[in-house]
A = this chain, B = another copy of it.
């Protein structure tokens, strides 16, 4: 059902994290160990912010499998970024097309999602109607993930991100309930404005997809002692991933059920995630 990765910290070439680790995201596209699906070959995407300049993210998204995409390898080898999101997709039924590939973008914001809205085709109309009509025209694809992003934008993602995502989740659960769909929401989400990253782990049934964050930069460095790029990482560098990129004891910490985290300058935050009824 997809895997993703979010990075914030010292600018790094994308390939250091997408290709080089033992269980890299690209490797997970063929052989995920913790995913519901072992193969994530229905498209991919990466969204990155530039090293200098304004926080306008660029996207590269493809519809084939990440593992055999020659352009992704080139781009990952030539672009450095202080903040990026990457995603590999296993479709839960919607079409394999670029507009369904994550990250989704709105102005300076990016969004990636793993999970699904159960019986989305039944709930889709009601959920889509709740999207702010001014945002409606920017819905380009057909996924639950993109509708979730636009609902969060509708509910004030730009101003109060955690509250906005909680309202989105509350709406999905209310609409699900109205249609008799049990446990409608399953999600790990990362969203960013180019400065901070908000991560969420939640499911209606209380049994969410896996999510981990890197405990300390030194742990990452110890993973790859010969990697000179990693040696230079700042202490504030953080990585959040659907599944660990390696086996190093203590380097990865699970994100608790029903919680959110904020990666930012200074102390990071973590808190309880509670859907807000609409």
Binding site for B on A (CB under 8 A): 30-31, 38-39, 41-42, 50, 58-65, 67-68, 70-71, 74-75, 77-79, 91, 95-99, 121-122, 124-125, 129, 133, 136-137, 139-142
The residue that A98 contacts in the complex, of B95, B121, B137, with Cβ under 8 A, is B95
A97 contact set on B, CB distance < 8 A: 95, 97-99
Distance in Å: Cβ of A181 to nearest Cβ of chain B: 14
A71 touches B62 (CB 8 A): yes
Would you give the shortest CB distance from A49 to chain B, in whole angstroms?
10
A41, B141: Cα distance in complex, Å: 21
Chosen A-B contacts, 26 in total, with CB atoms closer than 8 Å, are: A31-B38, A31-B39, A39-B41, A41-B41, A41-B67, A42-B65, A50-B78, A59-B70, A59-B71, A59-B74, A60-B71, A60-B74, A61-B70, A63-B64, A64-B96, A65-B65, A70-B95, A75-B75, A79-B79, A95-B99, A97-B98, A99-B142, A139-B142, A140-B142, A141-B142, A142-B142
From A30, A67, A133, A137, name the one whose CB has the most chain B CB atoms within 10 angstroms: A137
Residues of B within 8 A of A30 (CB): 39, 41
Q: A99 CA to B99 CA in the complex, in Å?
A: 11
Tell me the minimal C-beta distance from A206 to chain B in angstroms.
28
- Give how many copies assemble into the complex: 4
Residues of B within 8 A of A139 (CB): 142
Which 5 A-B pairs give the minimum distances between C-beta atoms?
Answer: A58-B78, A97-B97, A121-B137, A125-B136, A41-B41
- A41-B68, A75-B75 are known contacts; what are 10 more A-B pairs with Cβ within 8 Å? A30-B41, A31-B39, A50-B78, A60-B71, A61-B70, A63-B64, A64-B96, A68-B96, A70-B95, A95-B141
Q: Chain B residues with Cβ under 8 A from A140's Cβ?
A: 95, 142
Q: Check if B71 sits within 8 Å of A71, measured CB to CB.
A: yes
Q: How far is the CA of A123 from the CA of B77 in the complex (A)?
A: 30
Cα distance A67–B42 when bound, in Å?
9
List the B residue with the shortest CB-CB distance to A97: B97
CB A97 to nearest CB in B, in angstroms, measures: 4
Query: Across the interface, do B39 and A58 meet the contact criterion of CB distance under 8 Å?
Result: no
Alpha-carbon distance A75/B61, docked complex (angstroms):
11
- Among A41, A61, A62, A67, chain B packs the most CB atoms within 10 A around the CB of A41
| Residue from A31, A61, A64, A77 with most neighbouring chain B CB atoms (10 Å) | A64
- Which residue of chain B has the shortest Cβ distance to A122 in the bound complex? B137
Judge whether B95 and A77 touch: CB under 8 Å: no
